[in-house]
Structure 1
Amino acid sequence: MARVWIEDRETHADYVAAMEKWKAAKRAGSKRRPPGRWRVRWYGPDNKGKALTFAKLPQAEAEKDAITARLDKGSYRDPKSGKAAFSVVAEEWYGSLRKQGRTTKHDYRELLDLYVIPKWGDWQVGAIQWQDVSDWVDALMTEPGKRGKPLGPARITKIYRVASMVMKRAVQSGRIALNSFYEHELPHTNDDDEHVYLTHEQVEELAEAAGEYRRLVLVLAYSGIRWAEASAIKVGRLNVDTRRIRIVQNYTDVKGVLALGPVKNHEKRSVPLPRSFAEELRDLTTGRRPDALLFTSPDGKPLRYSNFRNRHFDPAVKAAGLGDLGITPHKLRHTAASLAIAAGADVKVVQLMLGHKSAAMTLDIYGHLWPDRLDEVADALDVGRAAALAKRDALLAA
């Protein structure tokens, strides 16, 4: 049994002195509360003595029972630990990030500074209630963002998740027992509406319109790699004979500074190339060093997304008559997935090609593209049932 007890401080010298001081202040007009007579004392899991005072005995008894129960069940948290400011925990959480790339950390920092800390920074983590969070989500959905425009569902979800990760840190560090950023209904992101699936013919028209970057467009549209990965492909990681590209690194562009780093989720992989254009990539490797970039800007430097899109990709989209589709270099990734699925690729193959963390993630995004096979199941059941009935009839006839 945990050791928790209540002290009556009525005769304690410090309590008597505090009461005299309070009475004098009250006569002078002070409205502050009197010192607590009843003190709950206990030893926490760290074997250090702790105490809380209460004005009334029933309050002290209720706290004693609650602390005893938490100590016995192993769910105890020091009441004072929940007084840490959200901003303090947020900086601890951000400083502890190890696996995230530069772009992800930059996005987290931006959301913290623009939306999360301005709202919750001065709050004690133990004081944030579920309803407080629910009201905040409502406000994000109805009030304009920092740029004066309504926030989209995906943006709201990202803001919420950053705040939730901070509070998860507060739970893990023992400051609070429960994360109040939990099981809130968030706006539907409508991700499917943002997907664009080009046909083989449309891909070819776009590639032809891209001129010198025809082969890059084809790689994006048929391998499903991300733009940051495509811009970091090195000559030595392309094998035309086996029709494979090894994806090991990517470029991140944060505040105008390009940096080469590991791929997203650290998912190194090899992606396939269709035989129909793989051979066209061979001359990009001829006479070049293995560590040279496969695709570069006209001056031989790494490709920047904004430059490539504004100067080459968007004009090609318009020239190919695809301007009304909202196609971007990144959205060619969706085309690669849809064409692979239409060609009969299973979910595991598509997952590996795209570099998703799991097949479940691939199904969440592209599951609707796989053909409905329910009739196949029904037909197979029919075959089994017919065989069983035939066997039964044969036995009855005998």
Structure 2
Amino acid sequence: WKALSALYKFTSDAYGVRNPMLKIEKPRFKKKPGQRLSRDQAKRFLSVVGTDLEWALVTCYFGLRFRRVEAERLRLGDIKSDYIIVQGKERTEELPLLPLLRDMLLKLQNGRGPLSPVFPIKADALAYHTKQLFKRAGIDDVRGSPHTLRNTAGRLWLTYGGDDRANRQLLRHGNRTMTDHYSELNIDELYVLEERFNPMLNLMRELPTTLTNTTGVRETKADSQSGDAISTWNYETPPTTV
């Protein structure tokens, strides 16, 4: 339809040919639901995460629902004591940051300063590592991408009992209604909900091989970005294409 409309519009404008497409309505298709993991698949996915880099990228895409570009833009100085600054598509926003998720991100600090990127590799390389995790978990019926993890987090938030309004706010959708904006929760209210309904932490509580204490202690709202546990990187270099 788009190709024919463009063709007839051009011929009509250039040569005065009658445009029959003006009488044909644009076809409407039912929007397909975004790809996402089931609860069991998500547990299997988390069970194969091993290195500090893998936990950090899963924290971004699944625990914090980041988009690819947001993870690439993330700086160490954006990681605060109990919130994180997100450089989004349209605006800069703040999200609540639970202690365990904060610790997973700061394991990549490795002595670098606040202006340094959390991931000093490109978004394509992060996507490659994400895809490798899907393969390792034996998940091949959905696309192994960061966006699949983001979609999964949005769905499982509701499965664990979280409300849709807070879910939309945490996903930072650009098409939120005016009512959504008037009824927005503040970051402290979102923090309390994250402690209870965050899908990544809820799944980790169900896995025998991960940390049993996934809550941690919330610090005061000081801008401390230092962590005691600093470890070196351990990750596979993605293959280069010729």
The verdict on a shared fold, with TM-score over 0.5 as the criterion, is: yes
Q: What CA deviation, in whole Å up to 9, does each residue of 1:92-127 have, x standing for no partner?
A: xxxxxxxxxxxxxxxxxxxx9x87644532323998
Secondary structure of 2:11's aligned partner: coil
Distance 2:4 2:119 in 1: 38
Which structure 2 segments of 5+ residues have no match?
181-242
Shift of 1:281: 2.1
| Match of residue 323, structure 1, among 140, 145, 160 | 140
Distance 1:188 1:133 in 2: 23
| C-alpha spacing 1:231/1:115, structure 2 compared with 1 (3 Å) | farther
Structure 1 segment 105-124 matched on structure 2, within 5 A: 117-124=6-13
Shift of 1:319: 0.9
- For the pair 1:188 / 2:77, whether they are aligned, the reply is no
Distance 1:274 1:233 in 2: 17
Q: Residue 150 of structure 2 aligns with which residue?
A: 333
| C-alpha spacing 1:211/1:290, structure 2 compared with 1 (3 Å) | closer
Shift of 1:207: 2.9
Distance 1:230 1:116 in 2: 38
Identity, in percent, stands at 20
| Match of residue 123, structure 2, among 304, 309, 312 | 304
Q: Residue 213 of structure 1 aligns with which residue?
A: 54
| C-alpha spacing 1:211/1:280, structure 2 compared with 1 (3 Å) | closer
Q: Residue 230 of structure 1 aligns with which residue?
A: 71
Shift of 1:347: 2.5
Distance 1:235 1:351 in 2: 26
| C-alpha spacing 1:291/1:118, structure 2 compared with 1 (3 Å) | farther
Q: Residue 173 of structure 2 aligns with which residue?
A: 356
- For the pair 1:282 / 2:106, whether they are aligned, the reply is yes
Q: Residue 240 of structure 2 aligns with which residue?
A: none
Shift of 1:235: 1.0
| C-alpha spacing 1:227/1:304, structure 2 compared with 1 (3 Å) | closer
Q: What CA deviation, in whole Å up to 9, does each residue of 1:184-232 have, x standing for no partner?
A: 342223x21x421343513412533x66322112221121121111111
Shift of 1:271: 2.4
Distance 1:287 1:247 in 2: 22
Structure 1 segment 16-27 matched on structure 2, within 5 A: none
TM-score by length of structure 1 reads 0.38
Q: Which amino acid aligns with 1:309?
A: A
Shift of 1:321: 1.4
Distance 1:119 1:222 in 2: 48
Shift of 1:334: 0.5
| C-alpha spacing 1:245/1:118, structure 2 compared with 1 (3 Å) | farther
Shift of 1:322: 1.2
TM-score by length of structure 2 reads 0.59
Equivalent residues, number: 175
Q: Which amino acid aligns with 1:213?
A: E
Distance 2:152 2:18 in 1: 44
The structure with the largest strand share of the pair is 1
Q: Which amino acid aligns with 1:317?
A: F
Q: Is the 8 A contact 2:62 2:149 kept in 1?
A: yes
Shift of 1:337: 0.6
Q: Which amino acid aligns with 1:245?
A: I
Structure number, greater radius of gyration: 1
Q: What CA deviation, in whole Å up to 9, does each residue of 1:225-255 have, x standing for no partner?
A: 211111110111111x21x22112xxxxxxx
Distance 1:232 1:116 in 2: 39
